[in-house]
Amino acid sequence: MGGGVDVPRSSSYPMVEVPAAVDIVLSQAERVLEGEHVELEEVADRVLFEDVLAQGDVPPFRASIKDGYAVVQAEGPGIYDVSGEVTAGRQSHTAVGNGKVVYVTTGAPVPDEADAVVQVEWTKPAEEPGKIEIITGAPKVGHDIRPVGTDVKKGQTILSAREEVHMAEVGLLATCNVRNVPVYKNARVAVLSTGDELVEAGGELGFGKIVDSNRPMLLAAVGSVGGIPVDLGIATDEEQAVTSAFMEAMLKSDVLITSGGVSMGNKDFIKPLLARYGTVHFGRVMMKPGKPLTFATIEPNAFSEGVPSSRKLVIGLPGNPVSCFVCFHLVVSPLIRKLSGFRSPHNPRVMVRTKMELKLDPERPEYHRALVSWDVGQRALTAVTTGIQASSRLLSARSANGLLVLPRADRTLPVGEEVEAILIGQIL
């Protein structure tokens, strides 16, 4: 019989715990990307690069708080001619004072001569057409009038650098007449699959071939957390093919995510490539699934003069689809959000009660896919498993909105045990 294939029998990389791995990745992402100005319609869910100042006063004119009549306060109750009206964006003849008032609607400009607004409930129609009667005592000067700049003064800081922009913030920017908004650039994230066995979805499945599910999944995930996905396709299990794709990523992206090629086979070229051209910060993580997870940084000019032109971050994910799924949520998602300026890049964590027994792994902590929901009867968050948790079984990730953080132990968690869950979707 022939000799065995010459492959290493043990890894030279020490095992690191998941929290330490995440800390290492985020510490290397301290260099957030540069800023850019985007249109108001593009700013939702971005992070501000600089303080934003109001471009004008809000309101920009004295505005009526109620539907009513603009009056000269000193003239008091009585019968008045209605000389015109001012509605939102429109006006007719607007003489005020000397027995004349003007009808104004909520939010409309108050004529300069008026110093108060009497709401319609304090008036009644007079017998003579075109007149109204004010039936209450004289209001105070300024009654039901919002002065110029009451809400926001021109030049006032309305949002600060590093603030996240969501629905209310977009409305505030528009209110203050801000059109071009300074935000952090979104990270460009290249995704590369490796493996001779992989074909594109819809392709012919020959001997030993499987569909590449990791790359489409990761490209979608990158976009969902604000990254700009860059598709590098599939590289065959040849060192030159992997190196060529790697150099393309150095030119086109800030972050490279690979899937496959990080284990210990004789066709696993990713780790040797990273060690040759960069610094591998860890190559194994104490977790299930995802133990071969790898992280490295590539400094400028690592390949040749000018390539790459700036520091790049590389995350090597295992080839198993569920390992990719879990590692993305634990490590890649926080990295992309950190690079995009978010102060709190981590997924939220909650405590949940299990609704089934869970066998723990005696060797590694497990990140168990689960459905987290609010149980009205228990008045608590609860979790139920998504089924068989094999790292190749992507069905275990389908519809999962939480990763249960299960400790390493040789025992079974009983029903109703409280465990920590990392939320990766909306609570049911």
Q: For 79-103, how does the pLDDT look when each residue is reduced to its tens digit (9 = 90+)?
A: 999 999 999 888 776 799 999 999 9
Average pLDDT, the chain: 93
For residue 173, the 8-state DSSP code is H
Helix segments in 233-362, DSSP class H: 239-252, 270-277, 321-327, 333-339
**Residues 377-422: pLDDT tens digits?**
999 999 999 988 877 788 888 889 999 999 999 999 999 999 999 9
Which string of b and e fits 284-294 if b means at least 16 CB within 10 Å? Answer: bbbbbbbbbbb
List domains and CATH numbers for the chain.
Answer: 15-34+185-339 (3.40.980.10), 35-58+150-184 (3.90.105.10), 63-146 (2.170.190.11), 349-423 (2.40.340.10)
| Of the candidate ranges 5-9, 77-81, 144-148, 210-214, the one whose mean pLDDT is the lowest | 5-9
Please tell me the distance from the alpha carbon of residue 85 to that of residue 295, in angstroms, as a whole number.
68
Q: Report the pLDDT averaged over residues 3-23.
A: 79
Amino acid type, 195: G
DSSP label at residue 273 = H
Please say if the pLDDT value at position 348 is more than 80: yes
Global pTM?
A: 0.87
The band of 3, judged by pLDDT with boundaries at 50, 70 and 90, is: very low
CA distance 122 to 303: 80
10 or 11, greater pLDDT: 11
Residue 12's pLDDT is: 84
Note whether 245 and 233 are within 8 A (CB). yes
Residue of 400, 403, 300, 394 whose CA lies nearest to 358: 403
Amino acid symbol at 159: L
Mean pLDDT value of segment 299-315: 91
